[in-house]
Amino acid sequence: MVWRDDFHHQEANVAARRDKTHYLYIAVIAAVLLGIAVGFAAPSAAVELKPLGTGFVNLIKMMISPVIFCTIVLGIGSVRKAAKVGAVGGLALGYFTAMSTVALAIGLVVGNLLEPGSGLQLTEAVRHAGEAQAKAGGAESTQEFLLGIVPTTLVSAFTGGEVLQTLLVALLCGFALQAMGAAGEPVLRGIGHVQKLVFRILAMIMWVAPVGAFGAIAAVVGATGIDALKSLAVIMIGFYTTCLLFVFVVLGGLLRLCTGISVFGLLRYLGREFLLILSTSSSESALPRLIAKMEHLGVSKPVVGITVPTGYSFNLDGTAIYLTMASLFVAEAMGEPLALGEQVSLLLFMIVASKGAAGVTGAGLATLAGGLQSHRPELVDGVGLIVGIDRFMSEARALTNFAGNAVATVLIGTWTKEFDRERAREVLAGQLAFDETTLTDDGHGTEAPAVPAPSAGDKTGVPA
């Protein structure tokens, strides 16, 4: 009963929080439209509004190190817990890593084919803020680059804003806490509390997003005119198309090959959950229902209890596609395309940094800024270009992440022989209808999951 009450409260709290952020969503849209209007009406004045976007980006940059540190350390702690369950946990984590890599690679391929930011030729006034960072650019040789990853002290990575150094410290702390075993649990709990504080600050910063979006969009439209809108439209359409191809071709093909189940039937079965995600802009609002429906479909409770919560933090396919395409867009728009070697290096960084990026609005932007700053610091200022359209792509990220977790649960259930295919066929054919009235009363998900679900507020499907 306690578990069921907790989920009732969780769903109510999620709904309440999402209701508030709807105002932010509307404000960002209004700010983008106003910025476009100002950019066309008074181009010279609009370019001078660039500091508004730069200021918002600087606030995001301020949060990069603490966000990455907390999510990586706690993420490794969650991996340790998930691995204890044996084959299911290990298989789930291996699958999540593989699919995230595939999603990131697809994002890079499509981004290179589309070159969404190539039509923008930003003026010196627009790029001025980024040039200051270029003077403090990265290491000039491979040896210097590798040595630069090691911080002077354990805390200098945070004060110096060096993302790769922060990542190294986070990995060392995470594995050290693993080795400590039970003695490390109090430290993990403490970092969990710090993460809540960091995410609360980040959530507060996101309320300034309309101002940042207005300044960034106005400056870009004022400098480049209609080319800015074309480039923004290209990346949005390209991102939505890529997500659809990933779900129906990659995930759908894998699901059909391994289980014989059609991805169309599975997604139709989860139709109400997709509508819930669209209405709340959060994939986490559908977490309890996904647990219940996967069990009803024929996947065993242990597999569902491990795979679904772990996937919500580690299987962020939509977010992975977004991070790579957005990085290429910013680089193209700033007139500084990423070389192939830099793209591969960025992909490897994103594979690690994107784990645990779900959970709060703005975490996706912080991860994107962190990736750019670790490779090409002069490009970080271009993150302001993404702010205005980030909200338009958040639903696609959330829906793709959700679909990826549903498919993953069925696949892992199949590979561990914990999936009843005959029951699944009957359920998908409508012969065993899901009883909405028993979602929290028939024992669905009553076994506590091995990995705690992430905090509410995922936008990147956020996460985002």
Contact of 81 with 209, CB cutoff 8 Å: no
> Which of 350 and 92 is assigned the larger pLDDT?
92
Query: Considering the chain, what is the average pLDDT of its residues?
Result: 75
pLDDT in tens, 186-230: 998 999 899 889 878 877 887 888 888 888 888 878 877 777 777
Which residue, among 460, 102, 105, has the nearest Cα to 316 in the 3D structure? 460
pLDDT tier for residue 449 given thresholds of 50, 70 and 90: very low
Distance CA 33, CA 163 (A): 33
What Å distances lie between residue 423 and 260, 283, 298, 420, CA to CA? 13, 26, 6, 5
Question: Which residues touch 387 (CB under 8 Å, ≥6 apart)?
Answer: 28, 53, 56, 57, 209, 212, 213, 216, 365
pTM score of the predicted model: 0.66
* Lowest mean pLDDT, pick from 55-69, 232-246, 318-332, 341-355: 341-355
Mean pLDDT along residues 247-253? 94
> Which of 118 and 68 is assigned the larger pLDDT?
68
> Given a cut of 70, is residue 437 above it in pLDDT?
no
Mean pLDDT along residues 284-288? 71
Mean pLDDT along residues 267-286? 76
pLDDT value of residue 120: 60
pLDDT value of residue 47: 83
Distance CA 277, CA 258 (A): 27
pLDDT value of residue 362: 55
DSSP per residue, 145-166: HHHHTS-SSTTHHHHHT-HHHH
> Given a cut of 90, is residue 254 above it in pLDDT?
yes
> Given a cut of 50, is residue 7 above it in pLDDT?
no
The proportion of the chain whose per-residue pLDDT surpasses 70, expressed as a percent, equals 73
Contact of 352 with 72, CB cutoff 8 Å: yes
> Given a cut of 70, is residue 137 above it in pLDDT?
no
* Lowest mean pLDDT, pick from 168-177, 302-311, 397-406, 444-453: 444-453
* Lowest mean pLDDT, pick from 147-161, 224-238, 280-294, 422-436: 280-294
pLDDT value of residue 251: 94
Environment class of 78 (CB within 10 Å of its CB; exposed 0-12, middle 13-18, buried 19+): buried
pLDDT value of residue 127: 47
Contact of 116 with 234, CB cutoff 8 Å: yes
Which residue, among 28, 95, 162, has the nearest Cα to 459 in the 3D structure? 28
Distance CA 312, CA 289 (A): 13
What Å distances lie between residue 421 and 37, 45, 113, 355, CA to CA? 55, 63, 39, 31
Distance CA 383, CA 133 (A): 14
Contact of 63 with 198, CB cutoff 8 Å: yes
* Lowest mean pLDDT, pick from 68-77, 167-176, 262-271, 314-323: 68-77
Contact of 291 with 445, CB cutoff 8 Å: yes
Distance CA 323, CA 105 (A): 11
pLDDT value of residue 190: 93
Which residue, among 349, 289, 363, 277, has the nearest Cα to 319 in the 3D structure? 363
pLDDT in tens, 236-248: 888 898 999 999 9
> Given a cut of 70, is residue 444 above it in pLDDT?
no
Ranges 11-20, 66-75, 254-263, most confident: 254-263
What phi and psi values does residue 300 have, to the nearest 5 degrees? -65, 155
- E strand or H helix that includes residue 430: none
- Compute the half-sphere exposure of residue 176: CA atoms within 13 Å on the CB side of its CA: 7
pLDDT value of residue 442: 42
pLDDT value of residue 249: 93
Distance of CA 268 to the CA centre of its chain: 24
CB < 8 Å & 24+ apart, contacts of 229-234: 229/36, 230/119, 231/116, 231/117, 231/118, 231/119, 231/120, 231/329, 231/333, 232/385, 232/388, 232/389, 234/114, 234/116, 234/119
pLDDT value of residue 121: 54
pLDDT value of residue 404: 92
> Given a cut of 60, is residue 291 above it in pLDDT?
yes
Ranges 367-371, 427-431, 437-441, most confident: 427-431
Distance CA 173, CA 206 (A): 28
Domains located in the chain, CATH noted: 2-438 (1.10.3860)
* Lowest mean pLDDT, pick from 150-159, 277-286, 395-404: 277-286
> Given a cut of 50, is residue 56 above it in pLDDT?
yes
